[in-house]
Structure 1
Amino acid sequence: MIGCMCIHGFTGSPYEVEPLASYLKDRTDWEIVVPTLPGHGDKLELKGIEYKKWIEHAEHELQRLIEKCETVYVIGFSMGGLIASYLSVHYPVAKLVLLSAAAYYVNPKQLFKDIGEILRDAAKGRLTENELFIRYRRKIKATPITATIQFRRLVASIRPILSQVTIPTLIAQGEIDGVVPPKSAEYLYNRIGTTSKKLIFFKKSKHLICHCEESEDLFMEVHQFLKQLGN
């Protein structure tokens, strides 16, 4: 049996990767798991949680999947991409997929554009229709600075081991991502140790790449990559 774990991002929830998980469930007989990292989910409770707890939880879920499946793939979104990279170094993972993976964080140029859209919608009385504002307003209010520090520590701890990633890896990145800049994907592509790697940019996609208009193309790429033998 094949197992596949999808890991969401910082301050996120399974919602971020659920469209891809559903796509794979509909087209395979794989065991698909989408864990919720400690303090995350619909209600954020991040205060007092160290980054190692996020990694440990992902490890525990992966170990359970490895016990059930002969072959295991790991997909990571944003911060989850860094955790997925860590897992691929320390556990028998067959393939790795990194989506908007946060080796770098915040794309100032695109972020200013997004803020401009929010301000324009506010001026027109359409602020409650702006998806970016709705999604991140709650996160900003519910995210203590200590949690952000833990996130940065996680990134700093995993960056040095990227060269130890030796399995086939697919990296996907939105070109108009206001949270994780495109240079993050390029950094990952250049730093990971495997020679079997592919980098794809999606011109119209923002940070929530599994929910953007090019998502179907993304899902097809991921599915094809994971199905390929000997890659």
Structure 2
Amino acid sequence: MSIGCLCIHGYTGSPEEVRPLVEFLQTNTDWELASPTLPGHGEDLDLRGHYYQEWIATAELALLDLKKRNDTLLLVGFSMGGMIAAYLAAKYEIKRLVLLSAAGKYISLPQMFKDIVEMGVDAVRKELASNELFLRYQRKLKDTYFFSSFEFMKCVKFTRPSLHKVNCPVLIIQGDLDGMVPKATANFLKAEIPAAEKEVVFLPKSKHLICHGDDREELCDKVLTFLSEN
């Protein structure tokens, strides 16, 4: 039995957001992994002129491509990618679904800035310039096209009703320190999804970029165990 696993990154992000998990799954399974870059996203953001329908369509085409070669399909979605993954899980026959910091509620860009300030307070000043997380957030705020934030909100609004149609087993993972997607969102997702098998896991040391957090080894182990069941 061949297995295909699609991993979808978040708003203003890139496959780098889920790279640690993707690499872990590649090392520990023989699955076919796919992690597309949504239009306008990537390390060099160019969101002007791109719409949420393109983001969903790109993920859907990647899933259909995996379907050509694999009997079983798995889905992993981070942040906005989690909502897109839920939409696809409701539309197609998916074996298992993992939602990482899924944006069931809107992400707060001001909170992103607040996180940057906190990093500056916590970091030793001479090391701040080399702080990868700080630089990543700083670049996002600078390069994000303001009006694309409305497309993000439209994407969440469009995909949210799909939560009621997800019946495959679901693993929901949220960082306790996530300031952009409220911690309560994980329980909201669990309540909205009717699947008989669903689990919520909170990681105590993780913020929003959960695949890069201090709990990433635990996250990878939990995701692999869940996706490998049955």
Query: SS of 1:72's equivalent?
Result: strand
Q: Is the 8 A contact 1:95 1:167 kept in 2?
A: yes
Partner of 2:59: 58
**2:178 is equivalent to residue 197 of structure 1:** no
Q: 1:143 to 1:108 in 2, by over 3 A?
A: closer
**2:27 is equivalent to residue 30 of structure 1:** no
Q: Distance in 2 between matches of 1:113 and 1:138?
A: 14
Q: Distance in 2 between matches of 1:119 and 1:62?
A: 39
Q: Is the 8 A contact 1:173 1:200 kept in 2?
A: yes
Partner of 1:114: 115
Q: Distance in 2 between matches of 1:123 and 1:94?
A: 45
Per-residue deviation, 1:127: 3.7
Q: Distance in 2 between matches of 1:40 and 1:112?
A: 19
Q: Which amino acid aligns with 1:222?
A: V
CA deviation map 1:151-180 (0-9, x unaligned): 000001111221110100000000001221
Partner of 1:151: 152
Q: Could you tell me which runs of 5 or more consecutive residues in structure 2 were left unpaired when the two chains were aligned.
A: none
1:44-123 equivalence runs, <5 A? 44-106=45-107, 114-120=115-121
Per-residue deviation, 1:107: 6.6
Partner of 2:229: 228
Q: Could you tell me which runs of 5 or more consecutive residues in structure 1 were left unpaired when the two chains were aligned.
A: none
Q: 1:202 to 1:150 in 2, by over 3 A?
A: same
Per-residue deviation, 1:185: 1.0
**2:117 is equivalent to residue 136 of structure 1:** no
**2:166 is equivalent to residue 171 of structure 1:** no
Query: SS of 1:17's equivalent?
Result: helix
Per-residue deviation, 1:124: 4.3
Q: Which amino acid aligns with 1:87?
A: L
Q: Distance in 2 between matches of 1:77 and 1:224?
A: 18
Q: Is the 8 A contact 2:112 2:137 kept in 1?
A: no
Per-residue deviation, 1:133: 2.7
Q: Which amino acid aligns with 1:10?
A: Y
TM-score computed with the length of structure 1 as normaliser? 0.92
TM-score computed with the length of structure 2 as normaliser? 0.93
Per-residue deviation, 1:105: 3.0
Q: Is the 8 A contact 1:104 1:183 kept in 2?
A: no
